[in-house]
Structure 1
């Protein structure tokens, strides 16, 4: 499979994944907008790539901001944190996720999706609604279809008002 097809497939499947995550669960409920702050560093072929919510990861972003920040909590232990700057150049998207006992990470670099198993550390805070510090890395990420490698060096995010939290 060539790169244009792989890119089109990744662009098509990613929104469908989020539709499934948002629509699964207990029906439609209104939630406050989630807020995410932090940054992630990925290396690929000796190049360091960074995605940052602003001011070295201290600015918080939500669904109406750029970059977009999103966090979803489904069940105890199921958490997804996403930062997406909406661009296909450099490191444009990071998702660290623990779901079904299988923690992993995804990163989009120059329009290509890389994925890999990656342990997450979640430190819940006392805030209401759901608030936590979430970290991942280092771990290897592999590009789909050809096995090219990148490495998530670190991803550290603070999340609050996560969608789906009880």
Structure 2
């Protein structure tokens, strides 16, 4: 998969996560709540993607930062945050059993890496958690340029479920 295809796929996932799902039988599923902050260091520069108020503001449809989360099989969690027009514009982490990894788009280029992700379920609810990752190295696809994921801290709730 090319870098452009990977970026397009990641953005499509974000769009799917941001839409409320409604059915006549069950009503609407709440929009996932995501708040947090990601810090990446690249070539001596610190890049920050923040949902607002130092990572405490929950993203919503009217804000400049979009976000979403999904829980698969009540054990795998994905969290995505995007801010259009920023140098550091996209971040996704996937706590997938045996394959935890992160992706970041910086200056239109995709960086990826295998990073330890810690998910602390809240109140026994698999759809609400505090999620942290880092520090770890992430690599730009195709040329091997490195950046450092310094820290990631998210609080998510009402994550969509998928089996």
TM over 0.5: same fold? yes
**Equivalent residue number for residue 35 of structure 1:** 33
**Equivalent residue number for residue 157 of structure 1:** 154
Match for residue 135 of structure 1 among 124, 132, 142: 132
Measured at CA, do residues 56 and 92 of structure 1 come closer, stay the same or move farther in structure 2, by a change above 3 Å? same
Match for residue 120 of structure 1 among 93, 117, 138: 117
Larger displacement relative to structure 2 (120-129 or 143-152):
120-129
**Equivalent residue number for residue 13 of structure 1:** 9
Q: What TM-score, normalized to structure 1?
A: 0.81
8 Å CA contact 2:132, 2:153 repeated in 1: yes
**Equivalent residue number for residue 91 of structure 1:** 88
- Cα distance in 2 for residues equivalent to 1:111 and 1:79: 25
- Residue 145 in structure 1 maps to residue 142 in structure 2: yes
8 Å CA contact 1:34, 1:63 repeated in 2: no
- Residue 59 in structure 1 maps to residue 47 in structure 2: no
Deviation per CA, 1:55-111: give whole Å up to 9, x if none.
100101145532001011012321001110122x42111111112421011111011
8 Å CA contact 2:137, 2:148 repeated in 1: yes
Q: What TM-score, normalized to structure 2?
A: 0.83
Please, what is the CA RMSD of the aligned residues?
2.8
Q: Greater share of strand residues, 1 or 2?
A: 2
Measured at CA, do residues 62 and 55 of structure 1 come closer, stay the same or move farther in structure 2, by a change above 3 Å? same
8 Å CA contact 1:143, 1:149 repeated in 2: yes
Q: What residue ranges of structure 1 are gaps of 5+ in the alignment?
A: 1-5, 23-28
Which of structure 1's runs of 4+ aligned residues deviate more than 4 A? 16-22
Larger displacement relative to structure 2 (154-163 or 13-22):
13-22
